[in-house]
Structure 1
């Protein structure tokens, strides 16, 4: 995925029946060098992309680690598992105890994986799944954008990482799922959509 040798600035292959001629006689110098243009180079992967993806992973993953730990242990806002269960009950879920653990572990584990750039499709899918459920149950569509703009941004960031991969500053760098990011991204997107549907239809 990141092999710069896969990108080339060489001229495009001429199709059968077409001509590479510019329409001007190369031996005619009357036009000077006005028509001499350098070959266009294709876009290549560069360090700025790696840095941007690293920042995105650290911020998104770090935020979800904090939220997950707060649900598990109440370290930051005294939320804890009991309050998480009551919150899920308020949203109409029928198995708040089970779902509270699923939610807390998904946020914590997903965040850690994103920070490390390890099993990135799974980490991004976990975050995306949590946010998709939150948007559905929390959104008030009688208000502007449902009042869930922040959740939409979280979901968009996770979706982005699902299809871009973690960049080269990651443990996943040389893995198969990193080299074939779009394929794995699509697979985990389908799995996430299925999990969201089951959660909303079966447990609510």
Structure 2
């Protein structure tokens, strides 16, 4: 299992899934739920500067997720998204228990952002792998 091809394939799948999760959440904040509703949610959760934070979170998740998926600037993007998830865990998820399905206010518990943070840290540590734009640029 410690073969480069297996490691690179696992990183590709892992990056792709994690990236698509962030793209979906960014898309939701910006276009599906909308920035006005997202700002209202952020305001209710007492996130500082809720409108600015909603834009920053939505754009960072959408763009960062896309960059993760293709593997461009991967470690920087994963680190930035990990910091974003730490902020989300603190402002949104901390008071809602551990489990995502705790039945409390929307936003879920701490388990979801902790899993995302751990996944992003794995990408920071192990990089994007050879099956990525970063990998192609490193070989060129």
Q: TM-score, length-normalised on structure 1?
A: 0.58
Aligned pair count? 130
Stretches of structure 1 lacking an aligned partner (at least 5 in a row): 1-42, 179-204
Q: Work out which of the residue numbers 22, 28, 34 in structure 2 matches 1:80.
A: 34
CA distance, structure 1, for counterparts of residue 27 and residue 135 of structure 2: 27
Q: Which structure's residues are more often helix, by fraction?
A: 2
- Paired residue for 1:68? 26
- Paired residue for 1:118? 72
CA distance, structure 2, for counterparts of residue 162 and residue 122 of structure 1: 7
For the aligned residue pairs, the C-alpha RMSD in angstroms reads: 2.2
Q: Aligned pair in 2 of structure 1 residues 56, 44: CA closer, same or farther (>3 Å)?
A: closer
Q: Helix, strand or coil for the counterpart of 2:95?
A: coil
For residues 156-175 of structure 1, what are the structure 2 equivalents within 5 Å? 156-175=118-137
- Paired residue for 1:131? 85
Q: Helix, strand or coil for the counterpart of 2:121?
A: helix
Question: Which of structures 1 and 2 has the bigger CA Rg?
Answer: 1
Q: Helix, strand or coil for the counterpart of 1:118?
A: coil
Q: CA-to-partner distance for each residue in 1:64-96, whole Å, 9 max, x for gaps? A: 10110111111xxxx110111011111212411
For residues 138-157 of structure 1, what are the structure 2 equivalents within 5 Å? 138-140=93-95, 143-144=97-98, 147-157=109-119
Stretches of structure 2 lacking an aligned partner (at least 5 in a row): 101-108
The answer to whether the 8 Å contact 2:70/2:132 transfers is yes
1:126 deviation in Å? 2.7
Q: CA-to-partner distance for each residue in 1:107-166, whole Å, 9 max, x for gaps? A: 01110110010000222023212211111122137x447931111111100111011101
Q: TM-score, length-normalised on structure 2?
A: 0.83
1:45 deviation in Å? 4.8
